Structure 1
Amino acid sequence: MIDEPSERLIEQRIRNRIYEILEILADCDAGVDLVGIKGYFNLFEDFVHRPSIEAGTSALSRDERAIVLEIAEFLEAASETNPDFTKAEFIDSDWPGKIAPTAREARALFLRRGLFSEKIEEIEPGRPTAIAAGQ
């Protein structure tokens, strides 16, 4: 029988998924081409608007949380500009070009800490909770 992942492990995995989405957003127009217009908006939304992130209790650091929420505001503003963007219209609008620099900054911020394990709980990337508890 496989154990269900802990809430902490889920939060670590979500942070890793957000990092992967930042990679897409950082690629500007190529990111839109890769996932399409719906994917561009929905992938981020699927992971960002979680109670743990909005409350500041996720695996994101305070600075990571702030920049992720800033990107969410960019995406919301872009969506409000034209909720029915086609992929071509969205690229022509230069919204991907406005979002990409902040996504690159966020990606660099995430990499300063590194990515979390997908299998074991960690206090910080590379520091399992069992080891940290025993120190």
Structure 2
Amino acid sequence: MIEEPSERLIEQRVRSRIYEILEILADCDAGVDLVGIKGYFDLFEDYVHRPSIEAGTSALSKDERVIVLEIAEFLEAACETNPDFTKAEFIESDWPGKIAPTARDALALFLRRGLFSEKVEEVEPGQPAAMAAGR
């Protein structure tokens, strides 16, 4: 029987996926080439607009949440500019160049704290929840 992951573990995994997507956004035009125009917008959207993030109850710190939501606003503004961008038009518009610096800042912020385990609940990266509870 496979045990279902806890809500905390799911939140840690979501934070890891957001980190991976930030790497794509930080790559500017190369990120768009890697995942295509739909992937560029949809991958981030799939993970960011979760009730836990919007409510501030996810594995994201307050500062991480702020910068991630700022990037979401950038992406929404880009999409509103031209919802039917082709990949070439999007790259030519320089939106990826406007988004990339904030994505790089977000990556640095995430790495300051570190990355969570995807297998063990942690209070903070490298601090298993069971260990913290036993102190």
Q: CA deviation at 1:70?
A: 0.1
Shift in Å at residue 128 of structure 1?
Answer: 0.3
Matching residue of 1:75: 75
Distance apart, 1:32 and its partner CA: 0.1
Aligned to 1:26: 26
- The residue number in structure 1 matching 2:120 is 120
User: Corresponding residue for 1:105?
Assistant: 105
In structure 2, the partner of 1:16 is: 16
Q: Deviations over 1:32-62 (max 9, x none)?
A: 0000000000000000000000000000000
1-side partners of 2:118 and 2:47: how far apart? 16
Q: State TM-score, norm by structure 2.
A: 1.00
Aligned match of 1:51: 51
Q: Shift in Å at residue 83 of structure 1?
A: 0.1
CA RMSD of aligned residues (A): 0.3
2:108 and 2:118 map into 1 onto residues whose CA distance is 20
User: Structure 1: which 5+ runs fail to align?
Assistant: none
- How many residue pairs match? The answer is 135
- Give, as a single letter, the amino acid of the residue that structure 1 aligns with 2:97: G
Write the distance in 2 (CA, Å) between the matches of 1:114 and 1:18.
13
Give the distance between the partners of 2:128 and 2:37, measured in 1 at CA: 38
Residue 88 of structure 1 aligns with an amino acid whose one-letter code is A
- Can you list the C-alpha shifts for 1:5-56, whole angstroms capped at 9, x where unaligned? 0000000000000000000000000000000000000000000000000000
| Partner amino acid, structure 2, of 1:133 | A
3-state SS of paired residue (1:4):
coil
- Give the equivalent residue in structure 2 for 1:132: 132
Question: How many angstroms apart in 2 are the aligned matches of 1:109 and 1:16?
Answer: 13
